[in-house]
Amino acid sequence: MKPTLLILAAGLGTRYGGLKQIDPIGPNGEIIIDYAIYDAINAGFGKLVFVIRHYFESAFKEKMGNKFDNLDFGELSRAVETAYAYQEVNACLGDFEPPKDRDKPWGTGHAILVAGDVIHEPFAVINADDYYGPNSFKTMARFLGKKDLSGNDYAMVGYTLRDTLSEYGHVSRGLCECDEQMFLRKIVERKKVESTATGARYFEDDGTERFLSGNEIVSRNLWGFQPSIFHHLKVHFQRFLKERGYEKNSELFIPTVVDELVGKEKATVKVLRTNDKCFGVTYRRDTAKAARCIRQLIDQGLYPENLWEQS
């Protein structure tokens, strides 16, 4: 069975100022997730699930079109199934009543949870506004294809912090601690990480400044999960709602869930190192840099000029 790729595309783009998921960066109008999808299909993923919101459903589906319905060029001659899940504020709440002024969903943990009805096989998770590199998907596909995995054997692609930062402002990153066999010991989501002349820094919620070397292993939310994660997420989300659901902007981050599962030995997470460069579109000025990076990769022969052109 081929693994599925779950694409988290429901973000509002507050810092960006628009729907960054569908802004073009390629020479023929390609958006950033086109390149991730191209790499994932080439690596052996057989199904795409998009997590979006109803209010931009038409614009998103129009942009995606039917380009994946029947690929027929080169090595990508295969059909790819697509499905959608919707991350609305009231999704998966059970009997919980959200605050009346709550207008944003509940974070990446919630975004994965809403896809539980359409995914029943091993799957990878990515953000819709990040580029991950082809080797990252090949490495993840090999892991998910192993025959001896248990139901709670997960994985994460680990990047080097300095290679993942924006030039234009702070970002969120999951800082990782691993053992000698590269299994995850601990991961902590840091929400205000930015580059410095000597490495990086972040700020605690109380404003305390912390410095980093820039060589730390971080998550960019390229996770590999078994379907068992949906049960864990449901349990964590219900607890989260009881404890923090009445806060207007509270979010359940997937690194928080994974960190607890690892700490309680309910799951193992293999950290798969990659030398691929990872860049994203957090701020509007990141778009021009992303376009330049894609142009360089095309010139190097990694991608065709027209990504989805049929041969």
Low-confidence ranges of the chain (pLDDT < 70): 12-21, 66, 68-79, 310-311
pLDDT digits (tens, 9 = 90+) for 239-267: 999 999 999 889 999 999 999 999 999 99
Burial class (CB in 10 A: 0-12, 13-18, 19+), 194: middle
pLDDT of res. 19: 57
Residue 237, helix vs strand vs coil: helix
SS3 content of the chain, % helix, strand, coil (to 5): 30, 25, 45
Beta strands 153-160 and 171-178 are unpaired
- Identify residue 241 by its one-letter amino acid code: L
Per-domain residue ranges of the chain: 4-299
Query: Which overall architecture, per CATH, does domain 4-299 show?
Result: Alpha-Beta Complex (3.90)
Torsion region of 44: left, alpha or beta (phi above 0 gives left; psi -120 to 50 gives alpha): left
pTM of the model: 0.89
Amino acid of residue 164: T
Q: Are 138 and 43 in contact (CB under 8 A)?
A: yes
pLDDT digits (tens, 9 = 90+) for 276-302: 888 877 777 788 888 999 999 999 999
Residues 6 or more apart whose CB falls under 8 angstroms from that of 97 comprise none
pLDDT attached to residue 44: 92
The pLDDT of residue 70 is 53
